[in-house]
A = this chain, B = another copy of it.
Amino acid sequence: MTLHTFQPTRYYTTLGSHEPVLRIADGDTVETTTVDARGYDARGEEVAARFNAQTGPFYVEGAEPGDTLAVLLERIRPNRTHGWSSTMLAPNVVDPTFVPELPWPADGNQLLAAWHVDADAGTARLLSPDSALGGLTLPIQPMLGCFGVAPAGGQAISTATSAEHGGNMDYRGFVAGVTAYFPVFVPGALFFLGDGHALQGDGEIAGTGIEISMDVRFRIRLLKGKRSRWPRGEHNDAIFTLGNARPLDQCVQHATTEMVRWLRDDYGLDGLSASILLGQAVVYELGNIFDPAYTMVCKLSKSLLATRAS
């Protein structure tokens, strides 16, 4: 039950079987920091390569393929005031015939927006560019866009994308208070984290959230022998599963299948019962529709599971 304080000195832009930066045990807590999507840290210095450079990997003692790693996100807090975001919708989220109506720059390089992020006040205020939005001020919801474990089979998967191991899911539900679960594919699990967003809309449809460096504290639990195939999550009110793929239809397939397995394995619901319940009570959320793999989330209220058990 150790509390580790870890200050990263190198970062990775793939999730793979890299040399661990720290070995931790089941139950340990880690306090660390993450850089923003372009590799800038709390002081605004460029210390890592683009994009979504990861802190870690953390080696979890005893973790083996077939286990599940639980990561309780205890704290995700911007550690500087400068946030930035893109300023144009991604062309893949509008009708193809509408793309020419959007003011895309000819060279593909767009202006970035600047935001003043006040973590104490819990707000982000738009500083530039000038627009009809003026000094738009939004409540922040700090989250991790890209985190997960090393994938199987010696793969090293870019932090641009996501799969069964997690990665760049860009789901705005990964906020403090949530426990994320990942299947373990390699000894030690090798947990990575990065790509903090002070705020992000569903789908990350402009291609970024309000990108910023973060202070993060997380606690690890190792669920020995517990099998899972896709990332899962849980908070006080709901359990959820994530499917990362293209098109969104396939994300729904992965996430729904994983939810059915979860209900079967942990909640005693066979296919018939799970179908009736999910049919009338399931909720889906859109993680991202921008990255190489999109993300959809399948969610079920814990109140329904409690009701059922009574």
Shortest Cβ gap from A262 to chain B (Å): 13
Contact (Cβ within 8 A) A89 B280: no
- Which of these, B94, B101, B272, contacts A87 with CB under 8 Å? B272
Shortest Cβ gap from A280 to chain B (Å): 5
Of chain B, the residue at the smallest CB distance from A277 is B133
Q: What are the interface flags for A75-113 relative to B under an 8 Å C-beta threshold, 1 for contact and 0 otherwise?
A: 000000000011111111111111111111010100001
Contact (Cβ within 8 A) A138 B85: no
Shortest Cβ gap from A13 to chain B (Å): 6
Tell whether A225 is near chain B: CB-to-CB under 8 Å.
no
Shortest Cβ gap from A296 to chain B (Å): 8
What residues on B are CB-neighbors of A100 within 8 Å? 91, 99-100, 104, 106
Interface of chain A, main secondary structure: mixed
Tell whether A154 is near chain B: CB-to-CB under 8 Å.
yes
What residues on B are CB-neighbors of A220 within 8 Å? none
Q: How far, in whole Å, are A285 and B156 apart by their CA atoms in the complex?
A: 30
Question: Max chain B CB contacts within 10 Å: which of A13, A85, A100, A250?
Answer: A100
Shortest Cβ gap from A192 to chain B (Å): 13
Tell whether A48 is near chain B: CB-to-CB under 8 Å.
no
What residues on B are CB-neighbors of A153 within 8 Å? 13-14, 158
Tell whether A2 is near chain B: CB-to-CB under 8 Å.
no
* Size bracket of the A interface: 35 or more
Tell whether A201 is near chain B: CB-to-CB under 8 Å.
yes
What residues on B are CB-neighbors of A246 within 8 Å? 245-247, 249-250
Question: Max chain B CB contacts within 10 Å: which of A86, A201, A272?
Answer: A272
Tell whether A61 is near chain B: CB-to-CB under 8 Å.
no
Shortest Cβ gap from A227 to chain B (Å): 15
Tell whether A137 is near chain B: CB-to-CB under 8 Å.
yes
Q: Beyond A91-B97, A95-B257: 19 further Cβ-contacts under 8 Å?
A: A14-B155, A85-B276, A89-B278, A103-B270, A113-B276, A131-B273, A133-B308, A134-B308, A136-B307, A154-B156, A202-B282, A203-B252, A203-B284, A206-B276, A206-B279, A209-B280, A210-B280, A247-B247, A249-B294
| 25 A-B pairs whose Cβ atoms sit less than 8 Å apart in the complex | A13-B153, A13-B154, A14-B156, A85-B279, A86-B275, A87-B276, A88-B272, A89-B260, A89-B278, A91-B97, A91-B99, A91-B100, A97-B108, A98-B260, A100-B100, A131-B270, A131-B276, A136-B276, A137-B307, A202-B282, A206-B279, A210-B280, A246-B250, A248-B248, A284-B286
Interface residues of A (CB under 8 A from B): 12-14, 16, 85-104, 106, 108, 113, 124, 126, 129, 131-134, 136-138, 153-158, 199-210, 245-250, 252-254, 256-257, 260, 268-286, 289, 294, 296, 304, 307-308
Listed from nearest, the 4 A-B pairs whose CB atoms lie closest are: A206-B279, A91-B96, A248-B248, A132-B273
